[in-house]
Amino acid sequence: MSAEDRFSMSAEKYLAKHNILIYFEDSIAQLLEHREENPKLNSIKFLSEYFNALRDGNHTMFREYSFVHVTSHNRASFVRLFWKCYRQIGKKGDLLSVNEYHSLLTLLCPDFPFEIVQKTARIILLDDAMDCLISFSDFIYAFQIQFYYEEFIEKVHDQYQSLIQTQRSPRDPVVVPSGTDDTSIHQNSHHPADGVNHTLQYFRAVFPLCDRSNYSTPPANSLKEILFNVPRVSFYGFLMAMAKSESINDHIGRLPTKSELLEGADSELTTPTIRLKNVSSKDFNTRTYKLVTTHTLSKERQDIRCAWNPPSLKEKKTQRRKIHLWKKIDETALRSATTEFATQFSCSEFQNLDQMWQAFKEGVTSLIDTHIPSKMSSSKHTHPWVNTQTRRLSRRKARAYRRANTTKNLKDCMGTL
């Protein structure tokens, strides 16, 4: 979008075009769900991580299909996420079935519909070959077209069916009775084969669908390049040409070219800052902190194990801090030292306010460190529900157990019960 188009828009149109309100509402909903479990959650840090993941395209991992499908940015990000997670399959040259690809998709989106995977397979294999195996590179580009341009493809299919109907003869088959029980059907044998003869006419029907604001559409120049180079085109042939088009792939901007699809090291995924709906805490933690999924393929191939261990989710060691023991203060010595410091401070001369504040701060800090005992906190990770009283009772229980185990006295043993 050019700068002139951006500033000529109204605020409402700009928010709607970029789906900003959708992301604001989702970020607040995710924040509220997290705060129910962790009241001490840092809201600013959470929102920062959410929008960083949104910018990097890692915000669709483990999300429900309604969120993955709601915006074009989410769809394109999910396609790239699928590629980054499973491109090792393409490197090994494995061929997978439709059901196996759907299983891989449900690991990233639990309620991902099987219908979209079926439609993707029809682009590659056609209706009469749904049980065949598909390579990863063919599937990923066809899946990108089907998922990203879903509404556009439905409109194009309606236009295609309309043109097919106009090419057929309007006369219906005529049943001619005979003297026997058998009947013969006479119909026009010159029906056109599957496909549209006039690609220019098909382009004229498809062109008004481009550049719609309510759904994503491919560039008109790319469609013109596809349709003007062939005398005849079928619907699935047209979609396959879109999947192979470099200009359409560049327009979406998430997948590399086919020559670079399987090259390079696997990219590290960032941590998703979301919580799944209708998923237990145990299942969510298992999937978030360590996704180790074994996906069993057909007998000719081995298992695929996809392991994801984000380093940012490792348990951080608690930093030690100084804890003052206020109940053990020597009040007499502290009061005497404080009086002496106040007298000395009032008699001192300072050049500016900063110098006065620094002297006061250093004096008070010195009084606290000198007359108030302190200790360092433990660096071990502790649970928030284990407080001082709980630890005291736990230590008391351990002492009673050791005493009973040493003396073997019935009284001590009964005291531990």
- Residue tagged 């978030």 (tokens): 288
Q: What b/e readout covers 300-312, taking b as 16+ CB neighbours within 10 angstroms?
A: ebeebebebebee
CA atoms within 13 A on the CB side of 305: 5
The predicted model gives 164-169 an average pLDDT of 68
- Give pLDDT tens digits for 167-204: 665 544 444 444 444 433 333 333 344 566 667 777 77
Q: What is the pLDDT of residue 139?
A: 93
Q: 233: which DSSP letter?
A: B
What is the Cα–Cα distance from 135 to 141, expressed in whole angstroms? 11
What is the Cα–Cα distance from 277 to 402, expressed in whole angstroms? 47
Select from 255, 233, 229, 252 the least CA-distant residue to 82. 255
- Give pLDDT tens digits for 52-63: 999 999 999 999
The neighbouring-strand residues paired with 270 are none
Q: What is the pLDDT of residue 301?
A: 40
Lowest mean pLDDT segment, chosen from 6-10, 64-68, 237-241, 364-368: 6-10
Q: What is the pLDDT of residue 413?
A: 66
Tally Cβ neighbours within 10 Å of residue 138.
20
Q: What is the pLDDT of residue 346?
A: 85
Residue 21: in which H helix or E strand, if any? helix 20-37
Q: What is the pLDDT of residue 51?
A: 92
By percentage, how much of the chain surpasses pLDDT 70? 73
48 near 42, Cβ under 8 Å? Answer: no
The predicted model gives 151-160 an average pLDDT of 87
What is the Cα–Cα distance from 341 to 336, expressed in whole angstroms? 9
Q: With a threshold of 0.85, does the pTM exceed it?
A: no
Higher pLDDT, 340 or 90: 340
Q: What is the pLDDT of residue 177?
A: 43
Q: 85: which DSSP letter?
A: H
Six-digit token pair at 117?
């995977």
Q: What is the pLDDT of residue 331?
A: 85
Q: What b/e readout covers 60-89, taking b as 16+ CB neighbours within 10 angstroms?
A: bbbbbbebbbbbebbbbbbbbbbbebbbeb
CB-based contacts of 301-310 (< 8 A; 24+ apart in sequence) = 301/94, 301/95, 304/86, 304/88, 304/89, 304/94, 304/104, 306/85, 306/86, 306/88, 306/107, 308/85, 308/269, 310/268, 310/269, 310/270, 310/271
The predicted model gives 232-255 an average pLDDT of 88
